[in-house]
Amino acid sequence: DLESVDELAANLPLVQRIRTALKDGPLPCKRLAEDLASTQNIIRAIIAKHKSSFMRVGDKIALMPARTGEIQF
């Protein structure tokens, strides 16, 4: 698993690194930027580009819940 090895994870696309960082729960944009050696503007741009993967929860960013494929009536 590339994400579990720091040296290899650093070479993954930033969007994938954001997904990995959010697996344990929502984080503020500032914290993501610091943890991923990026800027808040770049994090925000990636979140905006990948709207189907991420959502805002208050002042934090979270992974979008997985779809179950079930139709709710």
What integer pLDDT is reported at residue 43 of this predicted model?
Answer: 97
Instruction: Say what percent of the chain tops pLDDT 70.
Output: 78
What integer pLDDT is reported at residue 44 of this predicted model?
Answer: 96
d(CA 27, CA 22): 7
**Helix residue spans in 1-73 (DSSP H):** 6-9, 14-21, 29-35, 40-49
Q: What is the spatial order of strands in the sheet that 60-63 belongs to?
A: 27-28, 60-63, 54-57
What is the enclosing helix (H) or strand (E) of 24? none
Instruction: Say what percent of the chain tops pLDDT 90.
Output: 71
Q: CB under 8 Å to 3, separation ≥6 — which residues?
A: 9, 12, 16, 17, 20
Mean pLDDT per 10-residue interval, the chain, length 73 residues: 59 92 96 96 97 94 78 46
- This prediction has a pTM of 0.79
What integer pLDDT is reported at residue 73 of this predicted model?
Answer: 43
